Amino acid sequence: MISKSNKGITFILALFITVVLIMPFVSSCGKGGAASSVGLNTQMQVFNLGPDIQSVYLYVNYLKQGSSSYAYPNASGYFYLSTLDTPMQVRSAAITTATINFINLDTVLKAGHKYSLFITGLYANKSVTSILTQDDAIATPAEGYGKIRFVNASLPINNQLNITVNGTLDTPFIGVKYKAVTHYIQIPAGNYNFQLSQTSTPTVYLPNTNVQSITIQDSRLYTIYTYGIIGRATTDTSAFGAAVVTNR
């Protein structure tokens, strides 16, 4: 006959083993929107800058990433990836083109970093393409400084753009070609007026931009990016535009 004390010890041991086994599952369920252990804190943001491709989803390793679709010409903001395995795909979220894969990338992402995926080009002429950047592979700016870079994702594909900073062209942002990504440049923290022009007409500023009166903060990283089609009327949904986002 098994004594009551032995039964008690057996029950306690069984309960302990059960708790140990289920704790990892409880922990993973409670993370919600936090980074998964698989993704290793890798973050992505998506810029749908293709004027005619409608909303899209991002898939990594055939798994949809993020909580929603991404519409032109908005930035998604950073979100965590659940996997780093390839491929990375941009698929149409529109009902009429639901089976279309616009982008297929085999780039291997690094754990613990931030990335941006800029989608540009036109579905109408099968020129949809992408620009993938690692956003934090740069030293922290010196005290009292921030850093900023420029991504030219606007059409037509033969365009080249300049950016003036507080009215001067004395910057590295001159003759930046379509799909080009400049290096980050370091500038003192403060308020700035950025204006864009075509390299062919550097004193004629392009309209419809949202990069004037920008505050560059100490130790922060920023990206100015362009989208749309140069020359379209400002009332056109495909009109040229520019905006700025904070990377770190």
pLDDT of amino acid 39: 53
Closest Cα to residue 70, out of 86, 54, 52, 87? 54
pLDDT of amino acid 30: 34
- What single string gives the DSSP state of each residue in 213-245? SEEEPTT-EEEEEEESBTTS-TTSTTB-EEEEE
Side chain identity at residue 81, one-letter code: L
| pTM of the model as a whole | 0.83
Give the number of other CB atoms < 10 A from CB of residue 16: 10
Give the number of other CB atoms < 10 A from CB of residue 113: 15
pLDDT of amino acid 170: 75
pLDDT of amino acid 98: 59
pLDDT of amino acid 56: 95
Domains of the chain with bracketed CATH: 34-137 (2.60.40.2890), 139-248 (2.60.40)
The one-digit pLDDT tens for each residue of the chain (248 residues) are 445 445 454 544 444 444 434 444 433 333 333 445 455 799 999 999 999 999 999 999 999 998 889 999 999 999 999 999 999 999 999 866 657 899 999 999 999 999 999 999 999 999 999 999 999 989 999 999 999 999 999 999 999 999 999 988 777 899 999 999 999 999 999 999 999 999 999 999 999 888 988 999 999 999 999 999 999 999 999 999 999 999 99
Quick: pLDDT tens for 209-231. 889 889 999 999 999 999 999 99
pLDDT of amino acid 97: 64
Side chain identity at residue 149, one-letter code: R
